[in-house]
Amino acid sequence: MEVVFLFKVTQMTCLLAVGKFPSTVSGLMKWALSTVEIWCNEVGLLVNPDKTGLVAYTRKRKLQGLFEPELSGVKLRLSGSVKYLGVILDSRLTWREHVEAKVRKAHNLLWACRRAHGLRWGLRPKVVHWLYVAIVRSTISFASLVGCPGCQTASTKRKLSKVQRLASLGITGPFRTNPTGAMEALVGLPPLDLLIQGEASGVWGVGLTSTLDKGIPVY
């Protein structure tokens, strides 16, 4: 099947060309970009090529026949990942880069919260628990439906466990040698990998279909 899908959310637009051969996909994308450029000229809009990403989603190592199309006279460079609606989409759809970025952001938020409390001063444990659940944990579980596969590896589980351990230490204030599982059970925090898996299952259960089903075929 050779088709181009168009996704439009607020001011962000995504074009997805699907095909069997790299040369065919490149031709479809070139046609779609030229169509978008013509429409923008008719309605008086501009598209910034510097803020436009180009990613080839495939498991093939060599893409013979693939060429980089142009937008407004600027050749788009092929990259390994792109960020769309807060989700990092890598070329192999492993979601590891997305999860790692969320873990780094959660670490930064936790250390920012640690400046507001200590063992004998600052915010109460109840408030620290609320800050973690409402702000930090929701940052990691954002887009859990697509990020769930990237959270099932052993290395990612260890990174998620370190984040929750840091939060549990801030909430309970025990010795640093206390086991993470005991602190999680004490404050009622399930492991992050299980939480993300559960949220993804819940979202899928309410009837959310795949992203392609939301697309609008334009060719």
**Mean pLDDT to the nearest integer, 68-78:** 88
49 and 131 fall within a common domain = no
pLDDT of 140-186, one tens digit each? 888 888 878 888 888 888 999 999 998 888 888 777 778 888 888 88
Q: How many domains does the chain contain in total?
A: 2
pLDDT band, very low/low/confident/very high, at 31 (cuts 50, 70, 90): very high
100 and 72 fall within a common domain = no
Written as six digits, the tokens of 97 are 């880069």
Angle, helices 154-172/192-205, rounded to nearest 10 degrees: 110
Residues 150, 95 contacting (CB under 8 angstroms): yes
103 and 77 fall within a common domain = no
- Of 35, 61, 89, which closes a domain? 89
Segments of 10-77 assigned E as strands: 12-18, 70-71, 74-75
Quick check: is 212 in a domain? no
**Mean pLDDT to the nearest integer, 110-138:** 83
59 and 111 fall within a common domain = no
9 and 45 fall within a common domain = yes
Place of tokens 């501009």: 46
Quick check: is 214 in a domain? no
pLDDT over 70, % of the chain: 91
CA-to-CA separations, 214 to 8, 9, 211, in angstroms, rounded: 10, 11, 5
d(CA 118, CA 67): 56
pLDDT band, very low/low/confident/very high, at 208 (cuts 50, 70, 90): very low
68 and 29 fall within a common domain = yes
CA-to-CA separations, 74 to 35, 40, 164, in angstroms, rounded: 15, 16, 45
Q: Which domain holds residue 104?
A: 95-205
